[in-house]
Structure 1
Amino acid sequence: MSTDIRKTIDESPMSTLQTVAVIACIVLNMLDGFDVLAMAFTAPHLAAGWRLNGKELGLLLSAGLVGIGVGSVLIAPIGDRIGRRKVILCCLCIIGSGMLVSSVTQSVLELAAARAYTGLGIGGMVASITVIGGEYASNRWRSASISFQSTGYAVGATAGGVIAAYLMSIWGWRSVFAFGGVATLLAIPMVLAVLPESLDYLLTKRPAHALRTINRTLVRMKRPPIDTLPEVADTTEAAEQSDACAALLKAPLLHRTLALWAAFFCVLGSFYFVASWTPKLLVQAGMSADQGVTGGVLLNLGGIAGSVLFSLLSARFGLRPLLIASLVAGGVLMFAFGTHTASLSVVMAISILLGAVLTSSVAGMYALSLTIYPTGIRTTGVGLAAGAGRIGAVLSPLAVGAMLDGGWSVPDLYFAFVLPMAGAAIAVAIARVSVPDSRDRREPAVS
């Protein structure tokens, strides 16, 4: 991106447009939180109504995550070629229509297919809003902006649990998907009104009318317009753009990319195990269906508090040490959760703390990924890293379903996920040792 414009955004106070753009990304992540966990909210009722076994329920919980992984890998990188905003709008259409189709399915396979289709849109959108939100944030608030997006996810998931419980008590599980579809489609006018295209993309890719679009955005930011598009002087970045995927797997990015993929795999695998299975597992451990949903809601309430705290702390302290601390705490709380599944009051308290550190860990991973890649391949880099994470997210619900059918106890499942949390902490630490983050744009917050 043009050094002057980038420097202005990085170092100046946030304008109203920048703040609104970040808030719009947070709202979109709220919808993501509801859409992703709609299956978890409805799982106990759906399992009872359709008489599903563990493998069938695992298939339904993983189907959406498969779509998310594919969307992260195949759809998100398109944002580097046609624009982040266009991809977001297309993905909202996919998500909304997929949720509506899910509400009228009649079999496990139909619902699994609808969830996979919905996931395509979610995977493409999440990487795009992470990048565009980070690009419109100043240096001071960039890490906090990404963390607040995770707060939006937790808010959407928490509110979704409350809304889902109410809807299912009156109209059944299908109403949850119908509500999510309508709410997602209503977000399209918001994006058209308040979320501008990425200035980094416009200056790097230079589509038709780029100068006019840039100046329109600069005026809305109360910044002086530019007369001509600046020259692209960074030949290294231009070469990386020509084959973004190959650039990720060559020096100097190779070691950092592999470590990032490993960490994403472990973190998202653990997160979606807890988010997807906890309501059902609490019921299996002897609690009622309502208590299971309550446990899921408390996880997300903890996620709200944790991601807000993470956002504030990341504006003052190093991102990487804070992320490692969250991952280690997550492993400890996984063990504690498994140890106390028979005690309602204790497990509910641990749910809040576990939700806090897991959501903070996901937020930290996305914030860390933005510091690694240059503008021309940033959405591709974040999308592929998230795609690696989605592989873990897909495998963990499937594995848990098979493990349940194989006789594993509920505590043993949580004990098993201590290892991925420890592995993620090691991968983040190795990424720091292997390749220093010379691209970090905010030194006080990102060590």
Structure 2
Amino acid sequence: MTIRERIDASPMSPYQWLIIGLCTLLNALDGFDVLAMAFTANRVSADFALSGAQLGMLLSSGLLGMAAGSLLLAPFADAIGRRPMTILSSGLAAAGMLLSATAHSAAELGGWRFLTGLGVGGILACTNVIASEYSSKRWRGMSVAIYTAGYGLGATLGGMAAVGLQASFGWRSVFLFGGAITAAVCLLLVALLPESVDFLVSRRPAGALERLNRISRRIGQPVSAELPAGTAAAAGSRTAVRNQIATLFSARHRRVTVLVWAAFFTTMFGFYFANSWTPKLLVAAGMTESQGVVGGLMLTLGGTFGSLLFGALSTKWNARAVLLWFTVLSAVAMVVFISTASFMAVAFAAGVVVGMLINGCIAGLYTISPASYEAPIRSTGVGWALGVGRLGAIIAPLATGALLDASWTPVQLYLGVGAVLLVAAAAVWFLGGTSRTAAPADATQAGDAGADDAGAQGPTVGAGAAHRH
């Protein structure tokens, strides 16, 4: 058995769970970053005398940076390694947070927010893949669900920290705190984070066998006398990066790429619509302002458990099937939620369900997307999918505002978003027909057509292998 096959088949070791914990901690930085800016927005606006439009651009600069980081940095993770790009991206995020605390204008702060987002985008593209690759087949869905739950943890703790810090020391202290935490995590990565096993096998950098055997010993697996058979792929050059991006649109991968992108864009659209506009739309639907805020918190409460629920279900059933149900039920729950706004207790209960399901959808996409691409282009594929998803996150609030100006009612908006989520469900459904051909039997043969076993080369989807699709 290869090391990949042993990881898939064996129980999870403490070191593997440590790796999942590091990835979860990094994902929490995303949640902290988003909420830190939201909680400091009023004081930043007062300091810089910002208009509403200027504040909106400032809030969007971090999201734009995340999209750029996922699109631009992810291909380099497949060329030079997931570990160095994760560490580099963490350094960029730390620098962006620390420099944000020194800003003397909105334009300067927007630039540092973009730099922070650039680093976070690179982190997410790498850690999603690492968490998936170091999980066993049985526990992959749960591991990625725990990783996904880090966002909510970071958002909650980050929001609490932001409130306390800026009350005592001003808004700049929030970014200083975030930068210091990110820098400390970066040092942890240097000490503890290993390179991706699939990267070492497929790219074969200098010392690959020794590094693989060191990882094998740490996860309790036997060492190997030689690398698995295969042809090493070229790495570390601009040509390699260009080729990885082009490969996403090759005849072999084009259909997978379009479907994964459609699923990410529409799901992120629904996620950010619900989390950005729910309090205001509930007020428009008849609730008081305080009730609208509570309704928004119900979504957050449900989201805390949604990804973990997905992970638990994926240990018993195929992850793609679980994701399909979550997506369809999210669309239904959206309509039920807004339709029951006049019945407060029912609406709040429905809000918990909406938050749970839509966050479970994010966990599901994080679980199945690495399995859609073979090892040499996996970070590129996941990173570009995340980048496209971020575009959906940026467009959702803007489109909702425009439709409200065009006299759409809250019920019409939630119906529309429900329809968008059904598009995501259709994309997930059709992805079932691509899993067998999305990855070759040998991860090192990235360009070969005709390979037919996704399970032999790297992470497979959920509790069952991709051949069950």
Q: Structure 1 length normalisation: TM-score?
A: 0.87
Q: 1:186 to 1:435 in 2, by over 3 A?
A: closer
Q: Is the 8 A contact 1:265 1:391 kept in 2?
A: yes
2:176 paired residue number: 178
- Residue type of the alignment partner of 1:420: V
Q: What does 1:21-100 align with in structure 2 at a 5 Å threshold?
A: 21-43=19-41, 55-100=53-98
User: Alpha-carbon deviations, 1:39-90, whole Å to 9, x = none?
Assistant: 3344466567767665444423322111111111110111111111111111
- TM-score, length of structure 2 as denominator length: 0.83
1:439 to 445, 450, 454: 454
SS of alignment partner, residue 372 of structure 2: coil
Deviations 1:324-354 (A, max 9, x none): 2211222233334444567765554444322
Give, in whole Å, the separation in 2 of the partners of 1:273 and 1:157. Answer: 17
Aligned-partner residue type, residue 366 of structure 2: Y
Partners of 2:265 and 2:70 lie apart in 1 by: 13
Distance 1:174 1:339, change over 3 A: farther
Once superposed, what is the RMSD of the aligned Cα atoms? Answer: 3.3
Deviation track 1:239-288 (CA, whole Å, cap 9, x = no partner) reads 99982222222233221211111111111122223334456767888766
Alignment match, 2:428 = 428
Retained in 1: the 8 A contact 2:139–2:315? yes
Question: Residue 126 of structure 1: which of 111, 114, 124 is its match?
Answer: 124
Decide which structure has greater helix share. 1
**Equivalent-residue separation in structure 2 for 1:116 and 1:346 (angstroms):** 40
Q: Distance in 1 between matches of 2:55 and 2:13?
A: 46
How far 1:311 sits from its partner (Å)? 0.5
State the shift of 1:209 in Å: 2.4
Inter-CA distance 220–435: structure 2 relative to 1 (3 Å threshold): closer
Distance 1:320 1:376, change over 3 A: same
> 1:287/1:172 Cα in 2 relative to 1: closer, same or farther (>3 Å)?
farther
**2:264 corresponds to 1:264:** yes
Q: Write the distance in 2 (CA, Å) between the matches of 1:278 and 1:96.
A: 31
Match of 1:135 among 133, 136, 147: 133
Moved more, 355-364 or 413-422: 413-422
Q: Does the 8 Å CA contact 2:141/2:310 hold for their aligned counterparts?
A: no
Amino acid of the residue matched to residue 112 of structure 1? G
Tell me, yes or no, if the aligned pair for 1:157 and 1:300 is still in contact at 8 Å: no
> 1: CA distance between counterparts of 2:17 and 2:399?
41
C-alpha distance after superposition, 1:113-163 (max 9, x if no partner):
222221111111101001111111111111221122111112222222333
Report how many residues are paired.
443
Per-residue CA distance 1:373-395 (angstroms, 9 max, x = gap): 11111111111111221221222
Which residue number in structure 1 is paired with residue 254 of structure 2?
254
1:58–1:398 CA contact under 8 A, matched in 2? no
Which residue matches 1:18? 16
* Equivalent AA in structure 2 for residue 302 of structure 1: G
Q: Is the 8 A contact 2:75 2:245 kept in 1?
A: no
Distance change in 2, residues 1:183/1:423 (3 Å): same
- 1:172 Cα deviation from its structure 2 partner: 4.6
Deviates more, 1:303-312 or 1:27-36: 27-36
Q: Which of residues 4, 7, 10 is equivalent to 1:6?
A: 4
How far is the alpha carbon of 1:308 from its aligned partner?
0.8
Q: Residue type of the partner of 1:8?
A: R
State, as a whole percentage, how many aligned pairs show the same letter.
42
Match of 1:324 in 2: 324
| Residue deviations 1:297-337 (CA, integer Å, cap 9, x gap) | 54333222111111010011121221122112222333344
CA distance in 2, matches of 1:342, 1:106: 46
Deviation at 1:225, TM superposition (A): 2.4
The one-letter code matched in structure 2 to 1:21 is: I
CA shift in 2, pair 1:278/1:102, >3 Å: farther
Q: Is the 8 A contact 2:79 2:241 kept in 1?
A: no
> Any stretches of 5+ residues in structure 2 without a counterpart?
234-238, 438-452
